[in-house]
Amino acid sequence: MPKFSKVLVVTDLSEASNRSVRFAYALVDEGGEVHLLHLLEQESDPSPLYAHYSPDSFNLPEERAKAQAAVETQLRKLVPPEAAARRITTQVAATVHPEIAPGIVSEAKARKVDVIVMSTHGRTGLKHLVLGSVCERVLPLSPVPVLVVPYPK
């Protein structure tokens, strides 16, 4: 049976996305490691999912560092209290990538994780067509299993 000692969990800090965090901690073996990740997308036009970031500010190293530090503070608040009792260590990171799905896969490879955990927002119809599904784009690229946590209907 597969063992998961290193898990990458990805969140965009929305309520739907944060649901995946508890699943990631449940999957990891005692004494394991969870990599809690938020990707900041640097692009020329703001993405509707990350409109609260100004893409131009990422070109300035001090602004990028400030944005990353703020996100990492939010990520630390998501660590479940029982993680310490299970001796699970947490690595938090807010990284910048030009595209989210390839960025997630790149981070998974670099961190040598056993599994990726992420949520789906449950969008359907036109919203799904326009915004797409990051999960759908990660699945064919991922070298490791991907656990997708559905948004409750």
pLDDT of residue 65: 86
Amino acid identity for residue 73 in this structure: T
The span from the CA of 136 to the CA of 90, in Å, is: 26
Distances (CA, A) of 8 to 108, 127, 139: 7, 26, 14
The span from the CA of 70 to the CA of 132, in Å, is: 27
Distances (CA, A) of 27 to 17, 32, 153: 17, 10, 23
Mean pLDDT of 16-43: 91
pLDDT of residue 130: 38
pTM, full prediction = 0.82
- Better-scored residue on pLDDT, 24 or 40: 24
Is the pLDDT at 8 greater than 50? The verdict is: yes
Chain segment 39-81, per-residue pLDDT in tens: 987 755 555 555 555 555 566 778 888 888 999 999 999 999 9
Chain segment 99-150, per-residue pLDDT in tens: 899 999 999 999 999 999 999 865 554 444 434 588 889 999 999 999 999 8
Distances (CA, A) of 59 to 51, 68, 105: 16, 13, 23
Chain segment 80-93, per-residue pLDDT in tens: 999 999 999 999 99
Amino acid identity for residue 137 in this structure: R
Residue 139 contacts residue 9 (beta carbons within 8 Å)? no
